[in-house]
Amino acid sequence: MNQRRSIFIISCLAFGYAFLYIPILSMVVFSFNASKLVTVWDSANSPTLKWYYSLLKNEEILDAAWISLKVAVINASGSVILGTLTGFALSRFTNFRGRFTLNAMATAPLVMPEVITGLSLLLLFVAMEQLIGWPAGRGITTMTLSHMTFSMAYVTVVVQSRLATFDTALEEAAMDLGARPLKVFFVITMPIIFPAILSGWLLAFTLSWDDLVISSFTSGPGSSTLPMVVFSKVRLGVSPEINVLATLTISAVTLIIVGVSLWMARAGRIEKAPA
Amino acid sequence: MVVFLPYLWLMLFFVAPFVIVLKISFADVDLAIPPYTPLLQWTEKNVLAVKLNFNNYSFLFTDRLYINAFLNSIKVAFISTLLCLVVGYPMAYGIARAKSSTRNFLLLLVILPFWTSLLLRVYAWIGLLKANGVINNVLISLGLIHEPLTMLYTPFAMYVGIVYSYLPFLILPLYANLEKMDWTLLEAAEDLGCRPWQAFYKITLPLSRNGILAGSMLVFIPAVGEFVIPALLGGPNALMIGRILWDEFFSNRAWPVASAVAILLLILLVPFMMWYQSIQARESAGAR
């Protein structure tokens, strides 16, 4: 590459990554700050773990985290099933009535502003309660159903793109050898697209765990999720405990993502290795 | 069966809700639970009467607040998309041209922030931008400024927040597009006497058109209805339509007005969504 051009590109990359990471690093650094004035570094008493202790004793945050965890796990498992089915239908059955509609419906939640999704789902739940008495009231059930509706779109995209790249000859061979479609799916297709299903699960978990807007619309009294508690705290001003929460989140995400991508890179090498 | 379950699910939880929103946008605010009047009413002679109420819509079009909020949201989303392109294009280009060993690492660095909570990342900017925040402290200690700059709760803070949060959404599709590019075309152009900038303008840019459009739509469409970022960084005067909808619903309990806002926002965004879908269809057709 041309020298001047590569210097330009490298400085753009450096600027971009600094922009992406300085805010994150600042939260990590200030989570160890002793001062309650979050952004003023108290060098006499820092670094300290006192906000870590106070976060672990904060009942409100812990309760909310527990609710978020329940919703996120059920949501991730449900959306993986729905999203895999959708992705499979869209990439393997190229000609069926309603394919266009299914494709449009499955990808629209990706770009739909959250306030619209949240409001419309809440109004649906209210109407359903009036009509058939279920779901009674709003809470974990309604939040989970709403999260599944938008998370499955992401799973669909991930699964569909994985299915598009692998050779259908494998599936056809199994069918020719007499395997039933269901068996083909579980013995051939599933293991091959497993990395995509795993990323889909993690993605759906994260989307649900982080969601504020849709949860706010569809939750009920006593079922505040972690983002809802964080939002009400942040609105009142910065708080050192939020920095701690952010640091813990970032560490967990980094460990999981790096772990999974290393594992996938290895699995990919084995797959590509000549037999 | 494989098609039926997702189809039914999406019909029930994605399409049906919009019909209900449309219905309630024609209702009237009522002091009841739920707080709106029914659309269908039995009048005394067992006749089903439909009461359509267009007041919510005429209200939205007569009150300048709502029109300004719509226009402002479009403006903010458009400028943010441009800023994302300015920052994100060179990054996507740099990643696509990096050695394949460093490429995966660079991509991972783009994806990581996307996996951490948007709320927490927006919160980080409060700490950086506020009057006694990190940026002001650094600038003062360097002697560049004497008084802290007012950055938080300004349009500037809002743009920073949106560009920061949506940048990965632009980089990833753009990278996926640039990665497929045949770089020998650039070498050919340069051999034939094109200057690097000319070659970029004449070859790279037109070939990455679909990536640019797809990434821009992924930023623009959600940004128009964004709530969290204007609520936390934009201050009380940040008129964004997502925030208006939220306030109508949660503070004023005006469900019909909120529904009407949602319907208008949807009408505004549907053409962009269709455009996005057709770009995606073209991209995947080109990949095969």
Check if the beta carbon of residue A105 is closer than 8 Å to that of residue B14: yes
Question: Which structural domain range is residue B87 located in?
Answer: 54-287
Q: Tell me, yes or no, whether B32 and B152 share the same domain.
A: no
Q: Tell me, yes or no, whether B21 and B135 share the same domain.
A: no
CATH number at residue B210: 1.10.3720.10
Nearest of B236, B129, B123, B118 to residue A232 by alpha carbon: B123
How far is the C-alpha of B243 from the C-alpha of B229, rounded, in Å?
Answer: 10
Check if the beta carbon of residue A86 is closer than 8 Å to that of residue B2: no
Among the three residues B35, B53, B71, which one is the final residue of a domain in this structure?
Answer: B53
Q: Tell me, yes or no, whether B225 and B271 share the same domain.
A: yes
Of the candidates A16, A39, A127, the beta carbon closest to that of B20 is on A127
How far is the C-alpha of B264 from the C-alpha of B216, rounded, in Å?
Answer: 21
Alpha helix ranges (H) inside chain A? 3-30, 50-56, 59-92, 99-111, 114-132, 140-165, 168-176, 181-184, 190-210, 213-218, 226-236, 240-272
Chain B closest-CA separation from residue A93 CA (Å): 9
Residue B179 with chain A: CB contacts under 8 Å: none
More confident call, A130 vs B266: B266
Predicted local distance difference test score (pLDDT) of residue A247: 92
**Residues 124 to 143 of B: which have CB under 8 A from any A CB?**
124-128, 130, 132-134, 137
Of the candidates B3, B124, B217, the beta carbon closest to that of A111 is on B217
Of the candidates A12, A30, A123, the beta carbon closest to that of B24 is on A123
Chain A closest-CA separation from residue B44 CA (Å): 22
Among the three residues B28, B53, B78, which one is the final residue of a domain in this structure?
Answer: B53
Q: Tell me, yes or no, whether B25 and B88 share the same domain.
A: no
B121 touching A, CB under 8 A? Answer: yes
pLDDT at A116 over 80: yes
Predicted local distance difference test score (pLDDT) of residue B58: 83
Q: Tell me, yes or no, whether B9 and B129 share the same domain.
A: no
Nearest of B133, B123, B165 to residue A246 by alpha carbon: B123
- Largest Cα–Cα distance in chain B? 86
Chain A closest-CA separation from residue B250 CA (Å): 9
Which pLDDT tens digit goes with each residue over A141-164? 999 999 999 999 999 988 988 888
CA distances from A199 to A134, B58, B165 (A): 32, 46, 21
Please list, residue by residue across A78-113, b when 16 or more beta carbons sit within 10 angstroms of its beta carbon and e when fewer do. bbbebbbbbbbbbbeeeeeeeeeebbebbbbbbbbb
Q: How many CB pairs under 8 A join A and B?
A: 237
**Residues 170 to 209 of B: which have CB under 8 A from any A CB?**
196
- Largest Cα–Cα distance in chain A? 74
Chain A closest-CA separation from residue B104 CA (Å): 9
Of the candidates B91, B123, B128, the beta carbon closest to that of A16 is on B91
Amino acid identity, position B275? W
Of the candidates B7, B115, B123, the beta carbon closest to that of A98 is on B7
Among the three residues B13, B30, B53, which one is the final residue of a domain in this structure?
Answer: B53
Residue B20 with chain A: CB contacts under 8 Å: 120, 123-124, 127
Of the candidates B24, B167, B255, the beta carbon closest to that of A20 is on B167
Q: Tell me, yes or no, whether B22 and B64 share the same domain.
A: no
The total number of structural domains in chain B stands at: 2
CB-based contact A206 B115, cutoff 8 Å: yes
Residue with tokens 């990833």, as numbered in its chain: B172
Q: Which domains does chain A have, with CATH numbers?
A: 31-272 (1.10.3720.10)
Of the candidates A21, A115, A120, the beta carbon closest to that of B242 is on A115
Q: Tell me, yes or no, whether B277 and B250 share the same domain.
A: yes
How would you write the pLDDT of chain B (288 residues) with one tens digit per residue?
677 888 888 888 888 888 888 888 888 776 666 767 666 555 555 666 566 777 788 888 888 888 999 999 999 999 999 999 999 999 999 999 888 888 888 988 998 888 888 899 999 998 888 888 888 888 888 888 888 888 888 889 999 999 999 999 999 999 988 988 888 888 888 888 888 788 888 888 888 898 999 999 999 999 999 999 999 998 777 889 999 999 988 888 888 889 999 999 999 999 999 898 888 888 777 654
CB-based contact A89 B217, cutoff 8 Å: no
Chain B residue with minimum CA distance to A112 = B222
Q: Tell me, yes or no, whether B147 and B37 share the same domain.
A: no
Strand partners, B36: B29
Check if the beta carbon of residue A204 is closer than 8 Å to that of residue A79: yes
Residue A210 with chain B: CB contacts under 8 Å: 116-119
Check if the beta carbon of residue A244 is closer than 8 Å to that of residue A55: yes
Residue B4 with chain A: CB contacts under 8 Å: none
How far is the C-alpha of A106 from the C-alpha of B112, rounded, in Å?
Answer: 25
pLDDT at A206 over 60: yes
Strand partners, B50: B40
CB-based contact B121 A93, cutoff 8 Å: no
Q: Tell me, yes or no, whether B91 and B198 share the same domain.
A: yes
Interface mutation vs chain A, best among B8, B10, B112, B232, most A CBs within 10 Å: B10
What is the separation, in whole angstroms, between the first and last Cα of chain B? 27
CB-based contact B21 A120, cutoff 8 Å: yes
Amino acid identity, position B220? F
Q: Tell me, yes or no, whether B112 and B8 share the same domain.
A: no
CB-based contact A116 B262, cutoff 8 Å: yes
The interface pTM score, or ipTM, of the predicted complex is 0.86
Predicted local distance difference test score (pLDDT) of residue A275: 41
Chain A residue with minimum CA distance to B167 = A20
Residue with tokens 């639970």, as numbered in its chain: B33
Residue B170 with chain A: CB contacts under 8 Å: none
Which pLDDT tens digit goes with each residue over A47-60? 788 888 888 888 88
Residue A209 with chain B: CB contacts under 8 Å: 117
Interface mutation vs chain A, best among B11, B14, B228, most A CBs within 10 Å: B14
Q: Tell me, yes or no, whether B26 and B106 share the same domain.
A: no
Residue B126 with chain A: CB contacts under 8 Å: 234, 238
Predicted local distance difference test score (pLDDT) of residue B193: 80
For the ranges A27-31, A212-216, B31-35, the lowest mean pLDDT is seen at B31-35
Residue B204's CB is within 10 A of a number of other CB atoms, namely 18
CA distances from A160 to A64, A205, B123 (A): 34, 19, 34
Q: Tell me, yes or no, whether B76 and B212 share the same domain.
A: yes
